[in-house]
Amino acid sequence: MKLDTLRTNTSVISSVLNLDNQSVWHWYREHLSGFRESESNGEHYRHDLQRGEGIDVRVPILEPDNFGAQMAIDEKQIGEEMHTIISNHQTGKIAVMAKSMCFEDLKEALSPHSDACDKVEVLTRDLSSLYAKVGDELFVHSSPVADKFHIVRSLTEACQDVRVRFRQEILREKRLKHQDWKKKEKERKNQCQSSGKEYVAEKFQYQEETLSHGETALETLARSRYLLFKYSSEWTTSQKKRSQALFERFPEIQKVYHRCCEFRNWMKKENVGKEMTEIKNQLQTWMQKVEQDDIDEMLNFKSLVERHLTPILNYFVFGATNAIAENINSHIQRFIMINQGTRDREFFYFRLKKYFT
């Protein structure tokens, strides 16, 4: 049926044909989709992992034919449950979908299909230890490639953490001064009461630091969030003024911002395919600068890069990213929205398999 390969729901068809949507949905689910036949012959639950009584782990999709040379692995939350999804870069089809984030479950599901797993030459993934283990032990012939998006996101988070740290320091100072003011006011009130004088409450006064462009330091830190994500060439006029004031007042943020831009330039697509010696030398130079800056947030990111050095460097060999996995995740989310959620979870899995395999 044509509806099997579309993301749309039956409300579109029922509105065009001027029929009751609940009736159309019932006809499709019970009689036209093949869902009941798939349930009755066990096909719908064929790949589930059973341990003892009942189903322990749902594996709604497992298609060995969808494995190829380049695969992507990522997680997706559906309802309240996390799912692992392995998809094909070339075809955009899902090879595996399991309602589990446990290595043993994934190993049990994939072990009978080791020949299909051996086809995989490149496996793109995020930096989770689970998917690193999946790649090392289940896709033994594959080269791991760390997803560029996740690396850069961790980098920009480190930059934002420095900005937030300075903002929290100012807020902490303001809070401590307010507490000190309350303590003094309480003492003054007690003195007035003991001496019989009238107590007149005074308003808390806190003189905030104003920077060169007219905003306070707190306002500047709060409003600088988005400009730190962008290259300076992309800044608007107001962002240029704000960044100048920000960097004058907080030179540490300026250092971190420049290190972020340097690393992002290093990970640009134009560097894919360059000599690995040159790539490593550039990274080593950047790491030395980070060590000299001695800023905790960037040192933490540097440590992350060192722990995942091989899959990060493999990006410059294969140029692969996890974009296909993110694209599939967004398609699944759109599928959920169009079909009014996932309350009828088994039928949702059935339709999802029809659409993505």
The gap from C-alpha 193 to its chain's centroid, in whole angstroms, comes to 59
Lowest mean pLDDT among 21-25, 44-48, 342-346: 21-25
Examine the pLDDT at 20 and tell me if it is beyond 80.
no
Query: Span 94-115, mean pLDDT?
Result: 94
Which pLDDT belongs to residue 16?
Answer: 65
pLDDT band at 282 (very low <50, low <70, confident <90, very high): very high
- Same domain flag for 60 and 195: no
- Same domain flag for 18 and 109: no
263 within some domain: yes
- Same domain flag for 261 and 235: yes
pLDDT band at 169 (very low <50, low <70, confident <90, very high): very high
- How do residues 4-19 score in pLDDT, each as one tens digit? 555 566 666 666 666 6
- Same domain flag for 78 and 105: yes
- Same domain flag for 307 and 346: no
262 within some domain: yes
Examine the pLDDT at 271 and tell me if it is beyond 80.
yes
Query: Span 58-78, mean pLDDT?
Result: 94
pLDDT band at 128 (very low <50, low <70, confident <90, very high): very high
- Same domain flag for 210 and 306: yes
- How do residues 249-265 score in pLDDT, each as one tens digit? 999 999 999 999 999 99
Which pLDDT belongs to residue 341?
Answer: 65
Which pLDDT belongs to residue 14?
Answer: 64
* Range 106-110 contact pairs with CB under 8 angstroms and sequence separation of 24 or more: 106/134, 106/138, 107/137, 107/138, 108/49, 108/57, 109/47, 109/49, 109/57, 109/59, 109/62, 110/138
Tell me which residue range forms the domain holding 24. 2-33
115 within some domain: yes
Of the two residues 189 and 61, the one the predictor is more confident about is 61
242 within some domain: yes
Question: CB 44: neighbour CB atoms within 10 A?
Answer: 20
Number of domains in the chain: 3
Helix (H) or strand (E) holding 330: helix 323-338
38 within some domain: no
- Same domain flag for 126 and 213: no
Total-model pTM = 0.86
- Same domain flag for 249 and 136: no
Q: What's 106's domain CATH number? A: 3.30.420.10
- Same domain flag for 9 and 75: no
Of the two residues 136 and 45, the one the predictor is more confident about is 136
- Same domain flag for 184 and 57: no
| CA distance readout (Å), 90 to 6, 72, 262, 276, 277 | 20, 10, 31, 26, 30
173 within some domain: yes
39 within some domain: no
- Same domain flag for 264 and 339: no
Cβ–Cβ under 8 Å, residues 156 and 228: yes
Query: Span 150-175, mean pLDDT?
Result: 96
- Same domain flag for 170 and 111: no
266 within some domain: yes
pLDDT band at 345 (very low <50, low <70, confident <90, very high): confident
Can you read off the two tokens belonging to residue 53?
């009584």
